[in-house]
Chain A
Amino acid sequence: MKLLKNLLKEPAFVFGVCLFSLTILLALLGPLFVKINIGSEYLPYIQPGSEGLALGSDHGGRDMVSMLISGLQNSLYVGFLAGIIATTLGTFLGVYAGFKGGFIDNFINMVTNLFLVIPSFVVLLLISSSLEGGRSLQLIAVIIGFTIWPWTARSVRAQTSSLKSSEHINLARVNGADTFCILTKHILPYLLSYVFMVFIIQVASGILQEASISMLGLGPYDSVSLGIIMNDAMRNEALGDGAWWAFVPASMLITSIVFALYALNTSMEGVFNPALRK
Chain B
Amino acid sequence: MPNKNVIFEAKDLVKEFGHGKTHNVVLKGLNFEIEDGEIVTIVGGSACGKSVVAKHLLGFMQPTKGELFYKGKKITNQRDHWQTVQPIFQDPFSAFNQFFSIRSQLEDSFKVLYKRPSRAEIKERVDAALLAVNVMPSDLKEKFPFELSGGQMQRMLLARIFALKPQVLIADEATSMVDACVRANILDYLMKLKKELNMTIVFITHDIGLAYYVSDRIFVMHDGGIVEHGTPDEVALHPKSNHTIQLLEDIPDIHKDWIKRKRA
Q: Could you tell me the distance between the alpha carbons of A50 and B147 in the complex, rounded to whole angstroms?
A: 63
Partner of A175, one of B58, B60, B98, B108: B108
Shortest beta-carbon distance, B129 to chain A, in Å? 14
Contact assessment for A168 and B112 in the assembled complex, using a CB-CB cutoff below 8 Å: no
Which residues on A sit within 8 Å (CB–CB) of B97? 168, 171-172, 185-186, 189
Contact assessment for A168 and B82 in the assembled complex, using a CB-CB cutoff below 8 Å: no
Q: Could you tell me the distance between the alpha carbons of A237 and B26 in the complex, rounded to whole angstroms?
A: 72
Binds A, one of B13-21, B84-92, B204-212, B246-254: B84-92
Contact assessment for B100 and A176 in the assembled complex, using a CB-CB cutoff below 8 Å: no
Which residues on A sit within 8 Å (CB–CB) of B112? 174-176
The residue of chain A having its C-beta at the shortest distance from the C-beta of B112 within the complex is: A176
Contact assessment for A174 and B58 in the assembled complex, using a CB-CB cutoff below 8 Å: yes
Q: Could you tell me the distance between the alpha carbons of A166 and B91 in the complex, rounded to whole angstroms?
A: 9
Contact with B along A158-188 (1 / 0, CB 8 A): 0000000011101111111100000001100
Which residues on A sit within 8 Å (CB–CB) of B231? none
Asked whether A170 and B60 contact (CB < 8 A) given A176-B82, A185-B97, A189-B99, the answer is yes
Interface residues on A, range: 10 to 19
**Most chain-B CB neighbours within 10 Å: which of A166, A174, A175, A176?**
A174
Q: Could you tell me the distance between the alpha carbons of A173 and B96 in the complex, rounded to whole angstroms?
A: 12
Shortest beta-carbon distance, A263 to chain B, in Å? 28
Q: Could you tell me the distance between the alpha carbons of A185 and B100 in the complex, rounded to whole angstroms?
A: 9
Q: Could you tell me the distance between the alpha carbons of A176 and B97 in the complex, rounded to whole angstroms?
A: 15
Which residues on B sit within 8 Å (CB–CB) of A190? 98-99
Shortest beta-carbon distance, A168 to chain B, in Å? 5
For the complex, is B78 an interface residue (Cβ under 8 Å from A)? yes
Q: Could you tell me the distance between the alpha carbons of A189 and B95 in the complex, rounded to whole angstroms?
A: 15
Shortest beta-carbon distance, B17 to chain A, in Å? 14
Contact assessment for A167 and B113 in the assembled complex, using a CB-CB cutoff below 8 Å: no
* Residues of chain A whose beta carbon lies under 8 Å from any beta carbon of chain B: 166-168, 170-177, 185-186, 189-190
Q: Can you list 12 A-B pairs, Cβ within 8 angstroms, ordered by A?
A: A167-B89, A167-B91, A171-B89, A171-B95, A174-B109, A175-B105, A177-B111, A185-B97, A185-B100, A189-B97, A190-B98, A190-B99
In the complex, given contacts A167-B91, A170-B89, A172-B97, what are 19 additional A-B residue pairs having Cβ atoms less than 8 angstroms apart? A167-B94, A167-B95, A168-B97, A171-B89, A171-B95, A171-B96, A171-B97, A174-B87, A174-B109, A175-B108, A175-B109, A175-B112, A176-B79, A176-B109, A177-B108, A186-B97, A189-B97, A189-B99, A190-B98
